[in-house]
Amino acid sequence: MRSSRKRTSMLFRMLVRAAMLRKGTAASALAATIVAATAATAMLNLFEDVQVKLQKEFRSFGANIVVESTRGKLGPDALEQINSVVAGRGLAVPFAYGVARTTKDEPIVVAGVDFELARKLNPWWSVTAWPRNSGEALAGRRAAQLFTLSGNSLDLRYEGRNVHLSLAGTLSTGAGEDSRVYLSMQDFRQWTGLAPSIVEIAASGTPDEINAVVRDLQRTVSGVEVRPVRQVSEAEAGIMAKTRSTLLFSVIFIVSTAALCVLATLMGWMFDRRRDFATMKALGASDRLIAMFVAGEATALGLAGAIPGFALGVGIAAWIGRASFHAPVAPRISMFPVVLVGSILVTLLSALWPLRLLRRIQPAMILRGE
């Protein structure tokens, strides 16, 4: 044990001495290792966090699943089943629709909805003001012209039942919502007696998890048609796949480039020290001992580069998160062992070719200057 401790101490002193005598070369190799560890840490943190961030961004685009009754209305049991399936996996918002008539007998689509839920479902809606009181309506940009002509109020008739509405705010989406009038679900049902016929769902999770929600709804709720909003779901899946692939290939490219830099540095390092190794062999050092010495240098290099590289990578990932998603990327300490082992493996693999050349050293020829 005492002999083993002496050999370990001697090996450590040799490593420190070698780094001190060749500071420039050691600094170049260390810088390449730090860059690789930094890039790997930043990309791995983003790789884990970017999916959650993108899912939150996509949820601001509205519903990605639509459930429509094939019987014209959704009963309380169907709504309860839908909510039980979606619970914890997204937001379900019922909509009821009817075609009313103005005092000039002009048709207009009127919808009933819970405004609080609609606000959460469609944060992208451009709304001037949301209704807060009974009798207030939210009108689409085109439908609001009817209110303007009547002094910001409008009388509508549905199957002989009249209602007087005041304009609370206008809605602009550039789509069909601009031609509708929205009432609270309570006001709508008291006036028309119609039940919800459509439920729009913003399901969270990966594309596979969203498809699982669709399958569960199809299996659980009868008398409905369940369809994903392809424009949203396909765009979400495509962007997530491309983003993750870009991050992965970036890590591979940067780490490979850093490995080549470390390889070139170690090759030059070994070439400068060929006389030292020849002397060691002439004094009886085995190829195994020299390999252990070189592997020790590579391990020390990987360890020294992983620690500051991890700290820099966490900082860069947090900055990218704030710049791109306006939210910090949480540092994942569990990634440190991965980065540490990866850095050591990169330096060890980079040392394989120089080690192969060292095994061919002939001490007599090197020491004679040949």
Query: How far separated are the first and last CA of the chain, in Å rounded?
Result: 41
Backbone dihedral angles phi then psi of residue 127, each to the nearest 5 degrees? -120, 130
- Write down the pLDDT at residue 189: 93
CB atoms within 10 A of CB 23: 10
- Write down the pLDDT at residue 181: 95
Q: Distance between CA atoms of 283 and 45, rounded to whole angstroms? A: 49
Which residues make beta-bridge pairs with 227? 66
User: Rounded to whole angstroms, what are the CA distances from 124 to 121, 153, 256, 290?
Assistant: 9, 26, 42, 65
Q: Distance between CA atoms of 224 and 320, rounded to whole angstroms? A: 43
- Write down the pLDDT at residue 24: 62
Q: Distance between CA atoms of 106 and 103, rounded to whole angstroms? A: 7
Q: Distance between CA atoms of 135 and 8, rounded to whole angstroms? A: 85
Closest to 225 measured CA to CA, from 64, 63, 71: 71
Structure-block tokens of residue 16: 């420190």
Q: Which long-range contacts (CB under 8 A, 24 or more apart) does 316-320 make?
A: 316/38, 316/41, 316/42, 317/41, 317/42, 317/43, 317/45, 317/46, 317/49, 320/42, 320/46
Phi-psi region of 175 (alpha: psi -120 to 50; beta: other; left: phi over 0): beta
User: Rounded to whole angstroms, what are the CA distances from 5 to 8, 281, 289, 300?
Assistant: 5, 22, 15, 18
- Write down the pLDDT at residue 90: 86
Tokens 């909510």, located at residue = 83
What are the mean pLDDT values of the chain's consecutive 10-residue runs (370 residues total)?
Answer: 53 55 66 82 75 62 84 88 90 93 91 93 90 92 87 90 93 89 94 93 80 90 84 58 72 76 71 65 65 75 86 84 69 82 82 70 53
Backbone dihedral angles phi then psi of residue 198, each to the nearest 5 degrees? -135, 140
- Write down the pLDDT at residue 365: 52
Q: Distance between CA atoms of 146 and 153, rounded to whole angstroms? A: 8
